[in-house]
Amino acid sequence: MAVVAAAAHVGKGRRQFVELVWTKAFSVSCRHRHKKKWAATRPRISSTRLALQNFDMNYSVQFGSLWPSIRISLLSEQKYGALFNSFSDIQQIAQELECLNAVDFIWKSQKVVQDLNSAAGQQASKPAASTGTLAVPAESQAQPLPCLSTLISPNIRCYTFFKGDISLFPPARPDTLGILGYYLLDAASVLPVLALNVQPGDLVLDLCAAPGGKTLALLQTGCCRELAANDVSVSRTGRLNRVLRSYIPQNVCDTVRITSWDGRKWGDLEANTYDRVLVDVPCTNDRHSVMEEDNNIFKNMRKGERQMLPMLQLELLIAGILATKPGGEVVYSTCSLSQLQNECVVERAVKLLNIKYNIDVHVEDLSIFQRLFQDTFSFFPNCRLGELVVPHLTSNFGPMYFCKLRRLG
């Protein structure tokens, strides 16, 4: 009996051991089987929050004490301007906008030029100032500004409300011909077009044209002998077409060549062709990134696209310069605050064009824009190259970076 009992005890111990091993193996199997489900239920950071975290980390270093003000402005309601459509009923539209107490900020800049030139003339009439043993000529103290038409693209009108006024423009209404009187946009986005300084008879390329605000502004100049408007996205060029047909008469629309080519290849397609080229590149679109989940570049699925943006921007800028005639001008622009997408892209493009193509490019001084438009926009004072409009609660436009380059050879 003792032997039988011992055998039964041993057998029971073996069964318990086998059950224990099986239970552990099964539990491990179950754990791995449900691992993906557990991971899927972890809390996810929204694209807007991820964008803001990224900006806090980078822009707090770039802008220092200015960043808190810029940050709260980015997160506040954006201010808009009304790009005046000269193909509509001019008198009626101007009267409507002025009744709203809006003012054409470009027209206001003419008074700035007059005031500055008047001050320069008064300064020049004074005797030379003496500093120690050296006399400083009065002419070096204050130089008059040239005529505004030689500084910026002509005939563009854009109405804004005064600083601190957060009024909104009503939607534009079509006239008897179905043409809308004005186009609502961030007024700072007109500045790159002004900087391009389009002159009568110029051949002009808008390399990344959609959704169409800057293309529409280029047509307002009345100077384009031919305008090529390109965007790589077919759906976006469709939107561009609809915008132009809502604001421009059919005979003018027919003079615009709309294409959906890869802008990076334009230097091969039409090299040394254009007098003026606008390169308004895809970017992180900072304001949209912190406000809207839809089509946000900070979505996880777009991480690779976001990381490759500076390279894409560089290739587009180089293609734009190669498409320009020697002596022609290019304006590069983004709606981002990032130095990596702004000054760094310009610097890299200038170096690569010299090394790879033996082309010299001169970066133009645009500091005059701060003097002309400081009553409307808030400019960042420490841009190495070009100009940057930063959002500010009293004038919540931007961000908008723009830099002008002249091809020398």
| For residue 68, cis peptide bond before it (omega within 30 degrees of 0) | no
Helices (H), 182-308: 191-196, 213-220, 234-247, 250-253, 266-269, 286-291, 303-307
Q: End-to-end alpha-carbon separation of the chain, Å?
A: 109
Which residues, including other chains, have CB under 8 Å from residue 70's CB and lie 6 or more apart?
Answer: 59, 63, 337, 390, 391, 392
Name the residue among 178, 120, 180, 179 with its Cα closest to residue 145: 120
Catalytic residue (choose from 283, 335, 383, 403): 335
Structure tokens, 231: 């965007």
Residue 142 and residue 119: Cα distance in Å, rounded? 8
Which residues, including other chains, have CB under 8 Å from residue 377's CB and lie 6 or more apart?
Answer: 187, 188, 191, 389, 395, 397, 398
- Strand 361-363 and strand 400-407: the pairing is antiparallel
Q: Which amino acid is at 211?
A: P
Query: Is residue 403 among the annotated active site residues?
Result: no
Backbone φ/ψ region at 82: left (φ over 0), alpha (ψ -120 to 50), beta: beta
From the number of C-beta atoms within 10 Å of its C-beta (0-12, 13-18, 19+), residue 244 rates as: buried
Q: Are 396 and 325 in contact (CB under 8 A)?
A: no
The DSSP call for residue 355 is H
The DSSP call for residue 337 is -
- Strand 103-104 and strand 158-160: the pairing is antiparallel
Angle, vertex CA 294, rays to CA 290 and CA 297, nearest 5 = 60
- The SS3 assignment for 82 reads strand
Bridge partners of 205, per DSSP, are 228, 277
Which residues are known to be catalytic? 335
